[in-house]
Structure formats: structure tokens, C-alpha cells
A and B are shown apart, each in its own frame.
Chain A
Amino acid sequence: MSAVLDRPVQAPQRTRHPRRWRGWLLPTWSWLVIGWLCLPIFVMILFGFNNTQGKFNIKWQGFTLQWYRQLFTIPDLTNALEASLSIAVIVTVIATILGTLLGMALGRYKFRGIGSVNLLLFANIAAPEVVLGASLLSLFLTVGIPRGYWTIVIAQVMFSIAYVAVTVRARMAALDPALEEAARDLGANGVATFFRVTLPLLMPGVMAGALLTFALSIDDYIITSFNAGQTVTFPLWVYGASRNGVPPQVNVMGTLIFGFGVLLAVAGAAINRRRQA
């Protein structure tokens, strides 16, 4: 009986001590990390408003909106952005479809070779991009495919599928197979079951994979640079320009892409919350 009475008295004493330093250490640390992560983004956004005069946009010279007004005044940069955006959309669509199907198979079924496929996905994600890019280039050279827009698409689809497949696989593995059986039981055929039950339930995983693919595609430099031929994408153009000074329009475009990405992520989260509510 006394043991029962003792416990609540002792417990707060034991926790009070650690709470004293946890009280400030954890928030401080968290904010430091968050600040560290956000700093480059903040600098990028800020210097899109910099009233810079020379070629180099590295010193703060006052606030202006002129770069937003003159966003599309550099034709090459505009073309590069267009190429990047259209490639990203195409790659996202293809990689999301293929990756989703692959992830569903891996998350649900047991089949011969499932281990090797999983290993392959892991290898694809873990392999250094330089290696992937270079080996893909030698493949294109060997087969004799001219490098350009479509080889970029192929290369990016290749490395994006794994990311989609992995996120969908996790989602699929967590999905109760009885849900699909219930749909069949209630009279849905295979197609109706997929579109009304399986796909909606996999959607968070599919969307996460798609967003990841879009982000990876739009800023991929290494693999793209190997397989781009004469096509210039946004990152390739920026890298080329960095030797002579990057124009502030790049910051503005970066800001807009970033803002778009944040918007998508927030919208996705909101839809998810509404669906579950």
C-alpha cells in the first residue's frame, strides 16, 4: 500500500530535473537547425529583390521589384526554364504511373525475384549520380541515341521511379488486403476496386512520390548534364551562368518554383486532412 502512495510523490521529482535544461535546450537547438536549413532559401528570396547594379548579385544594394518585372527578359534563361518545367511534368507523370504500379506489386504480392527488385530500387537510390549519369551516357552512345530533350526525360524517369516505388510500396504494405476483398465482395470488379478503393487509399503515397519526382527533376544537374546534348535546362543554364555572374532573375525563378512547391505540399496536406476528417 505504501508503495502505491509513494510513487506519485516521487515521480514529479524525478522528472523535474531533466525538464529544467530541456526547457531551453531543445527549442534553441530546434530553431538553430531550422534556421540553418532555411538560410539558403532566405538568401535566395532576398536577393531576388536586390537592386544590384553589376554582374554579380552578392552584395545588398537596396530593395527593388524590377527583376520580377523583367523576369523573362533573358531568352536563354526563359527557354531553359520552359524546358525544365515541361520535362518535369512529363517525367512526373511517367515515373509516377510506373513507380506506383511497381510499388503496388512490391508492397502486396510475393513473387519470384522480389528480393532482387527491392535491391535494385535501393541500389538505384544509393548509387552516386555521377555513376548513373555516366553509365547512362555510355549506353546512349553505344545504342546510338542522339542526346537531347528525350534522353533527359528517360534519364530522369529512370532515377525517379525508385522514389515513387518506395513511397507507394510502404503505403501498399500498410493497406489491409481485406479492403480490396471487401470491395470485390460488394460487387466491384477489378477496375472499380482499383479506382474507388486502392488508388484513393494509396494517394498520399502517390502524391508524395510525384512531388518528390517533380522536385528531383526540376533541379537535377548531374545526371541531366551527362545526357542533355544541346538541350539546356534551368540548372544547366544557371551553372553555366555562374562563372559570369548569376542574374537576379534566377533568384526570382527559384523563389517562384520554391513557392509553387510549398503551395503544392500545403495543398496536399490540406486535402489529406480533409479526407481523413
Chain B
Amino acid sequence: MGLKTAALKKSIWVFHVACSPCNNCDIEILDLLTPRFDVERFGIILVGSPRHADALLITGVCNRHVTPRLIETYRATAKPCVCFLFGACSCQGNVFKGGYNVPRLIDEIILEEDPNAIIVYIPGCPPKPEAMIAGVVKALSVL
């Protein structure tokens, strides 16, 4: 493991991409920053620009309007980057799967843009913050 990877593992900057979620997943994400979980202990912070990010945290189902924006955000992220699909909606469409406004799932869209993308699925509706931390740990052990 090189120095670069070691540093990357200790400092994951996250950009939150809300692809029309119901807002419940987003509240669970904010829980991660509170004193109870405090992910800054592991070097994880939220940043405001995809260009600074090492990880995209994607919530919600991707409808027709959001799709080009999601692709643009993915292309604006400096590689290497990890995509976390947070919540049942972004993992497999949840109850909205097959709806008229959900033509494709998020992992299909991202894999079409970049076949080598690293995608981590964190299921749950919404997932607990502990599940999120477990997901990050799994992703880091693969890197």
C-alpha cells in the first residue's frame, strides 16, 4: 500500500449528491456529523464542491431531470473517487422502481459513464448511521 492510498484512507472528503430523495436519508447523513458519531475522528468531512471530494454520497432515485446532472457531477469529481449509494432508493429503486419517471437506476447510469467506478451499496430505508460507517469501512478495505 503506497503513501497515497494510506493518506486517502485517512482523509475521505464527501460530497452529498441529493438525487431527489425523500430527505430522510439526508437527515441520517447529518447525524453522522453530530457529537454522537463524529466522523471527523476518521477524517471524513463534508465538502461543498465535487472537485474537492473523494466520495460521492448519492441518495434518492434518479429521475429524468437529475440524470444529466448526476453524470456531470461524477465527471467533475477528481479521481480516484468512490460512490456510496445511500438508501434503498439509490440501491435498487425502492417502491419507486418501474415508475414512469425512474427510467434507470443510479448504478447503471454511473457504470455507463465510467465502467471502472467503485460503487458501494448501503441498503436501508433510511440506513442507520452505523450502517453508513460499516459501508465506509468495507469500501476502504477494498481500496
Q: Do A and B bind each other?
A: no
